[in-house]
Chains A and B, each alone.
Chain A
Amino acid sequence: MRRLLFKNLLRKPLTEPAPQADAGARAQLAGAADLAQRPPLGRTIAIREIDAGSCNGCELEIHALGNVLYDLERFGIRFVASPRHADVLLVTGPVSANMREGLARTYDATPHPKWVVAVGECARNGGAFAGGYACLGGVAAVLPVDLHIDGCPPSPTALLEGLLALLERVENGAATAAAQELAPNG
């Protein structure tokens, strides 16, 4: 083990440069309702991930964010075990009827201010599972969604770009949003 650790110490980090925050995500977040009521969160966000009936594909790519190449935690973004500790709920899946209550209760257990990010085609509109008896057809059917990150599944880079836009937003909160509105031309 020592040999391996030593070797890794000597070589350059594998972590790749950070992508830019996604412009589309920025625009979505600028339009988020009740922005003024949500005070800025600062430099870090804690995410509680909820699988609301996904195929597990989205989870795989969310997982990948933690590997050394994407290294999500360097941005101050981390996953937490309890909704009580979370600022953001990252929700996947078409929301199966059987998960509706679990999702709603997790949201209720999350303290204010909180943000909801819907990940994947399913979470937007039910995706391949829309129209059946067993799904509600997307996260917005149950919770107010601030940001959609599209893809089936979205790549880790796409997830990162979306989350960085969210980080920007929650860091500055309503103050920046208000400032932007006051100065529309610059």
Chain B
Amino acid sequence: MRALRDFIADGQALSRHRPWPRAVVGRDVWERAIVLLQEERATLLALWGERDAVHLALADDTPPLILSFACEGGRYPSVGQRHAPAIRLERALHDLTGIVPEGLADMRPWLDHGRWPVRHPLGERQRGRALPPYAFLANEGESLHQIPVGPVHAGIIEPGHFRFTASGETVVRLEQRLGYTHKGVEALMAGRSLGGAARLAGRVSGDSTVSYAYAFARAVEAALDIEVPPRAVWLRALMAELERLANHFGDIGAICNDAAFALLHAQCGLLREHVLRAADACFGHRLMMDRVVPGGVAADLAPEGGQAIGGLLTHVRRHFPELIELYDNTASLQDRTAGTGVLCAELARRFGAGGYVGRASGRGVDARRRPGYPPYDRLAFDVPVRNEGDVDARVWIRIREVEQSVALVEQLLHGLPAGPIRGAAPAAAGEVREGAALVEGFRGDVFAWVRVAADGRVERCHLRDPSWFQWPLLEAAIEGNIVADFPLCNKSFNCSYSGHDL
């Protein structure tokens, strides 16, 4: 990416984009970027569009970089055709803007199910129209049968459709169809005040509400050069770690439940409830919605908050180890999780899979470390990595991350600086500004990009959920497993539907 960066230094970089450069590039640089992705010398962070341009965010071990391609004639050279992780992004981009990825073989609509009153809501709007039935990929072979599942599932979970092709009990192919929860968030963002937009960002995926609000706030603050008071910086991290704890407890329990081990489900459910109650006592909302806002945080730690967290930490330290031991020593449970739903390291790397999905398959990337953001530069924590890539490894990554988050919460509480929790209200800059941010949620890195208009309102905002790069890997991981193990594999990935469908 260095070569790319040097090339951009030639004067195409836009000065009002923070903290990483964005540059409008021609076809040759765009193509070079695709080659970098293809050769895995850079990771795809995000790909999104607007009326007449597409933007590509890339990362390697240097800070991220954003390339923009002006689409004359509404086309651009497809990234997905040569780098599979971009395929769904490009299909979604086409649905939303009408811009065509030149050369992309799979042009089936992705988010657009033919139910909207408009087509291309973020581009040249047209009247909506019905679509022919979705063309699932063909499967040929003797004695194959199909099992369609969803969008309404059996449990209390989000909607999506899974089309299994099975040979006997063995899954030959899983094809996902998503988009059912598409709410048009990006169109709703346009024209909102920063406060209103932050509220919306916190509702893209409810389980990651802190992380989304955090990423959005950081992008806005980068764009507008806003200084966040130290206490707010630390409180945000405290909320983010509580969110991680709550979700990991919930996930560990739910995975065990899908392996028919209800005892751990009950115990982990209790731990999760403890975290949510502590969050409520500290910040006045169980999920901590609307607590992170551009410029700081909306709620200071309540006077009894420190005690609530202290109680939580004691409880977790006392009870979690025996649950880990139980998980580790129950052969019937291990029998279900070990060796099930293996995701190979190569695919995890190519897709730039974040969170426990990547880390269970050898990819030890964590946005808190790289590109990194305060206060994590002043905190001690490890990023656990395993190489087995199976359900068991994804459980273990969560277990280790719980331990890390417990230690982080303690450090955050001890080191919490005094002072205000919110700076002056973000003022309109009088010019168009842009900012980007990457924040590590429990599921992986959440990417936020925002363009703030001269009047201080959001002009365009793009939020990319880590699930975009995890969902396709679930299709790969389930291959060759039995149908009955799908819930287990699915839960161990726990991808977001709402965050993905946006």
Which residues of A are in contact with B by a Cβ distance under 8 Å?
A: 1, 3-5, 14, 49-64, 66-69, 79, 81-83, 93-94, 96-102, 106, 127-129, 131-135, 152-153, 155
A15 to B207, CA, bound (A): 25
A68 to B272, CA, bound (A): 11
Kindly identify which residue among B183, B207, B326 contacts A60, using a CB–CB cutoff of 8 Å: B207
A55-B498, A132-B187 given; A62·B156 CB < 8 A: yes
A81 to B153, CA, bound (A): 8
Instruction: Contact check, A132 vs B151: say whether CB atoms are below 8 A apart.
Output: no
Instruction: Contact check, A66 vs B269: say whether CB atoms are below 8 A apart.
Output: yes
Instruction: Contact check, A59 vs B203: say whether CB atoms are below 8 A apart.
Output: no
Pick 13 A–B contacts, CB within 8 A, sort by A. Answer: A5-B263, A51-B156, A51-B158, A51-B181, A56-B497, A57-B206, A60-B287, A69-B273, A99-B181, A128-B199, A132-B187, A134-B182, A153-B287
Kindly identify which residue among B155, B180, B206, B273 contacts A55, using a CB–CB cutoff of 8 Å: B206
Kindly identify which residue among B116, B157, B266, B270 contacts A133, using a CB–CB cutoff of 8 Å: B116
Query: Which residues does chain B contribute within 8 Å of A4, judged by CB atoms?
Result: 263, 267, 322, 326
B19 at the interface (CB under 8 A from A): no
User: Number of contacting residues on B, CB 8 A?
Assistant: 52
Shortest CB distance B286–A (Å): 6
List the B residue with the shortest CB-CB distance to A79: B156
Shortest CB distance A139–B (Å): 14
Main SS at interface, chain B: loop
B496 at the interface (CB under 8 A from A): yes
B289 at the interface (CB under 8 A from A): yes
B237 at the interface (CB under 8 A from A): no
A69 to B159, CA, bound (A): 27
A69 to B179, CA, bound (A): 35
Instruction: Contact check, A14 vs B159: say whether CB atoms are below 8 A apart.
Output: no
Kindly identify which residue among A59, A98, A152 contacts B179, using a CB–CB cutoff of 8 Å: A98
A31 to B29, CA, bound (A): 65
A58 to B158, CA, bound (A): 10
Shortest CB distance A157–B (Å): 10
Instruction: Contact check, B158 vs A102: say whether CB atoms are below 8 A apart.
Output: no
Instruction: Contact check, A55 vs B159: say whether CB atoms are below 8 A apart.
Output: no
A58-B206, A67-B266 given; A51·B154 CB < 8 A: no
Query: Which residues does chain A contribute within 8 Å of B158, judged by CB atoms?
Result: 51, 54, 56, 59
A56-B205, A99-B151 given; A135·B270 CB < 8 A: no
Q: A51-B157, A51-B158, A82-B154 are in contact. List 16 more A-B contacts (CB 8 A).
A: A5-B263, A50-B159, A53-B181, A56-B496, A64-B273, A67-B266, A67-B272, A98-B179, A98-B181, A98-B182, A99-B181, A100-B115, A128-B199, A132-B183, A133-B117, A133-B121
Instruction: Contact check, A102 vs B151: say whether CB atoms are below 8 A apart.
Output: yes
B314 at the interface (CB under 8 A from A): no
A124 to B203, CA, bound (A): 16
List the A residue with the shortest CB-CB distance to B118: A133
